[in-house]
Amino acid sequence: MEKMNQAFEKMKMLVGVEVDDEASTATINDDNSSWFMDDFNRNCTLSTKQRLYGFAICFVSGLTCTLMSMLVFFNPIKFGIAFTLGNMLSLGSTAFLVGPKRQVTMMLDPVRIYATAIYLASMIFALFCALYVHNKLLTLLALILEFGALVWYSLSYIPFARTMVSRVIVACLDTEF
């Protein structure tokens, strides 16, 4: 019953409903109460309307950058910069909805910590290849890695999606008849 209550409280937290102080203190360590993100959240309070506007503007900007990157698809360096910028804007847009602290907490959740690390590392690697190395083949490989990491990271937010996709891929690649 306790696990069910914790899961319910976690779901309330994910959708933005305020959690009781007792439940939130049971899951969050009080050792880091003066953390930078706590101060940032206290100083940056937005109304629901402002959060929705911020999300919409940031998400549409990210989607526009991602779609505009298709225009320069055959120039991997420009494509890499535009595509990665679009991904960063789209990722940042969700911070308007759930708040920056909760966004970071969700990204560092044990379920998706590896997906987050690979996704962020692939974005940095793609930008490094596009801006400093100027190698089109390496930039293209970094973008393929970034896209795969984006899909895997996105699937981590859907319950059992990564397990299902893994099983489908294994079934498709199985050569035994």
Collapsing DSSP to helix, strand or coil, 151 comes out as helix
- For residue 94, the model assigns a pLDDT of 87
- Label each residue of 40-74 as H, E or C: HHHHCCCCHHHHHHHHHHHHHHHHHHHHHHHHHCC
- Compute the Cα dihedral for 33, 35, 39, 40 and give only its sign: negative
What is the distance between the terminal CA atoms of the chain, rounded to a whole angstrom? Answer: 45
> Of all residues in the chain, what percent are helix, strand and coil, respectively (each to 5)?
80, 0, 20
User: In the predicted model, what is the mean pLDDT of residues 58-70?
Assistant: 93
Q: Residue 22 — φ and ψ, nearest 5°?
A: -65, -45
Name the more confident of 132 and 34: 132
Cβ–Cβ contacts within 10 Å for residue 173, how many?
7
The one-letter amino acid code at 166 reads S
Name the more confident of 150 and 17: 150
For 143-150, the CB contacts below 8 A with 24+ separation are 143/76, 143/79, 143/80, 143/83, 143/84, 146/83, 146/84, 146/87, 146/119, 146/122, 148/122, 149/115, 149/118, 149/119, 149/121, 149/122, 150/87, 150/119
User: In the predicted model, what is the mean pLDDT of residues 8-34?
Assistant: 51
Name the more confident of 150 and 43: 150
Q: Is the model's pLDDT at 50 over the cut of 60?
A: yes
Q: Break the chain into its structural domains and give their ranges.
A: 45-173
Q: How confident is the model at residue 176 (pLDDT cuts 50, 70, 90)?
A: confident
User: Does the model's pTM come out above 0.75?
Assistant: no
Instruction: Answer yes or no: are the C-beta atoms of 130 and 139 closer than 8 Å.
Output: yes
Residues whose CB falls within 8 Å of the CB of residue 119, separated by 6 or more in sequence, listed in order: 146, 149, 150, 152, 153
